[in-house]
Amino acid sequence: MTAMQMLYPVLAAAAAYLIGSLSFAVIVSRGFGLSDPRGYGSGNPGATNVLRSGHKGAAVLTLLLDALKGYLPVLLVGEFGGRFGLEEGTQALVGLAAFLGHLWPVFFHFKGGKGVATAAGVLVALNPWLGLATLATWVIIAAFFRYSSLASIVAAVFAPFYQLLIWGGGPVAVAAMLMGGLLVFRHRANIQKLLQGTESKLGRKAAGVAPSHAHPPKQLHKPTQKHTQKHTQKHGVHKP
């Protein structure tokens, strides 16, 4: 293997990390004139917290873009990496790099989200059936319990087991285990809230959320002395 062939996986991973560093929760919220999602609810720049703003369209767009930034780098390596000697191992590395970019984005002071949607995008690209099984797990738990965090934790734990039991080990299994472990770690505060019964359920709007460009309420103007005099002259003053 030449030095250039060894460099290709590193360059691909670096590019994937930069793509993953695009915090679409913040970008989309700014575009819609909403408050910064890092300042309300869980403080997490992700689709679930954007949903707490009450703007479903912004939340859906954030979800799709966060998933796409995990899916696209893996897909590109799969489609075009063969000519450069990039195989499944590099695909898994690139997916993990995009996921790490979401967690610790270089463009947003390394303060990112929990990575649920991005991890889902990575898994779908690496193994579509694994991705669908993991997404189905999330949907079932979320539908029954109405906790996004609980659904994410359960799906993160089950994903590597699905891969190992059905498709075997390899780079995909390693990537699924690493992402699953980091997802559980990033949800440690949510685990405490779940145990205490204080975790917010899906669809509940966060308190204190307001558009970032909200206009102040109009003030009522008291009538001036000149206006009062005109009114008196026109209608007269009736004394008892």
CA quadruple 44, 147, 58, 63: dihedral sign: positive
Whether this prediction's pTM lies above 0.85 is answered by no
Cα–Cα distance measured from residue 197 to residue 95, given in angstroms and rounded to the nearest whole number: 34
pLDDT tier at 30 (50, 70, 90 boundaries)? Answer: very high
Please name the residue that has the structure tokens 């709007």.
205
**Three-state secondary structure call for residue 2:** coil
> Looking at residue 59, what is its pLDDT?
94
Give tens-digit pLDDT for 34-90.
Answer: 999 999 888 889 998 899 888 999 999 999 999 999 999 999 999 999 888 899 999
Which residue type does 214 have?
A: A
Q: Is 9 in contact with 2 (CB distance < 8 Å)?
A: no
Which residue type does 47 have?
A: A
Cα–Cα distance measured from residue 152 to residue 156, given in angstroms and rounded to the nearest whole number: 6
Q: Is 25 in contact with 66 (CB distance < 8 Å)?
A: yes
- Is pLDDT at 238 greater than 60 in this prediction? no
Q: Is 116 in contact with 199 (CB distance < 8 Å)?
A: no
Burial of 41 (0-12, 13-18, 19+ CB in 10 A): buried
Give tens-digit pLDDT for 138-162.
Answer: 999 999 999 999 999 999 999 999 9
> Looking at residue 209, what is its pLDDT?
58
pLDDT tier at 218 (50, 70, 90 boundaries)? Answer: very low
CB atoms within 10 A of CB 59: 23
What residues contact residue 40 under an 8 Å CB cut-off, 6+ apart? 49, 52, 53, 206, 207, 208, 209
Look at 222 and 111; give whichever has higher pLDDT.
Answer: 111
Closest CA to 106 of 206, 216, 18, 186: 18
Q: Return the half-sphere exposure (C-beta side, CA atoms, 13 A cut-off) of residue 210.
A: 6
What residues contact residue 144 under an 8 Å CB cut-off, 6+ apart? none
Q: Is 80 in contact with 8 (CB distance < 8 Å)?
A: no
- Work out the end-to-end distance of the chain between its first and last CA atoms, rounded to an integer number of angstroms: 108
